[in-house]
Amino acid sequence: MRRDTWSRFWEKKEDLDGVYPSSPAVLQALVRHLGVEPARVLEIGSGTGRDTAALAARGHRAVALDASFEALALTARAAPALVGRGIVAGDAFHLPFPDRAFDAVFHQGVLEHFGNPAAFLAENFRVTNPGGLLVVDVPQRWHPWTAIKRVAIRADRWFAGWETEYSIDELEELVRQAGFEVVESYGDTMVPSLAYRLLREGAKRCSVDLPLRPAAPPVLRDARERLRARLLAPRAARWIAHTIGVVARRPAADRP
């Protein structure tokens, strides 16, 4: 993935209001497994830095790393408390940190942009403390979005340049091969839906600005969220979800 691809993407974003948030499942997994004790946490390819900021607000020593200076500038504007040691420019394949520097490493919507995921995850392993946490979130292969994305990539119209996708079995195996032990996995869907997002993009071309999310009464929203949680709970849902994630740990036996 070329840095200038993302530089062009992020330089158009003046604030977070026009950027869809990533899957909430990532932050939920981190909060669930990290506990309340302050931890050293690294987000790779942080983009908006929303989750890094949320973890810092919980008392963790969180660092947002990105290769795009434009993304880091957006993070600095949105989360000024991170400015300083909490915002770092760097290469995911040559992280500017010593071995075992973090208690948790995570990334979402990042791994799929590289053709050498094993090297990417090996660097994750290097900077993760033994017993430390890894959370990886990527697009799921068997989803309608994949077909749309591949057509756009072939036509050189995909906003993110080249990317791929994974099945849950493939992702878990990649994480294991990197030396981690899989703790759990999850699947998540688009909120708002793919149909609404496509409608919104089409409306933009007609100079019509639709809200980031369609309006819905709180009762309907809550009911929809409960139904979504039930549908995503079985492992079989990992094969129909829009995104999937793996939560893993570096074996504690690696401790000296």
Which of 151, 96, 156, 95 lies closest to 124, judged by CA?
95
pLDDT digits (tens, 9 = 90+) for 179-230: 999 999 999 987 777 677 778 878 888 888 888 777 778 887 777 778 877 8
Section 139-160 average pLDDT: 85
Q: Which two tokens stand for residue 247?
A: 């939560």
- Domain at 26, CATH number: 3.40.50.150
Q: Would you give the DSSP letter of residue 255?
A: -
Burial of 51 (0-12, 13-18, 19+ CB in 10 A): buried
pLDDT of residue 117: 97
What's the Rg (C-alpha) of the chain?
Answer: 18
The residue whose two tokens read 């010593």 is 98
Q: Give 235 or 117, the one with higher predicted confidence.
A: 117
pLDDT digits (tens, 9 = 90+) for 160-178: 677 899 999 999 999 999 9
Residue 255 to residue 165: CA distance in whole angstroms: 33
pLDDT of residue 165: 94
CB atoms within 10 A of CB 195: 10
pLDDT of residue 220: 78
Q: Give 113 or 6, the one with higher predicted confidence.
A: 113
pLDDT of residue 132: 97
> Is the predicted pLDDT of residue 53 greater than 90, yes or no?
yes
Measured in whole angstroms, how far is the alpha carbon of residue 242 from the centre of its chain? Answer: 13
pLDDT of residue 196: 79
Residue 191 to residue 243: CA distance in whole angstroms: 11
Number of domains composing the chain: 1
> Is the predicted pLDDT of residue 159 greater than 60, yes or no?
yes
> Is the predicted pLDDT of residue 2 greater than 60, yes or no?
no
Q: Would you give the DSSP letter of residue 140?
A: B
Enclosing domain of residue 99: 3-254
pLDDT digits (tens, 9 = 90+) for 132-145: 999 999 999 998 88
pLDDT of residue 153: 82
Residue 122 to residue 176: CA distance in whole angstroms: 11
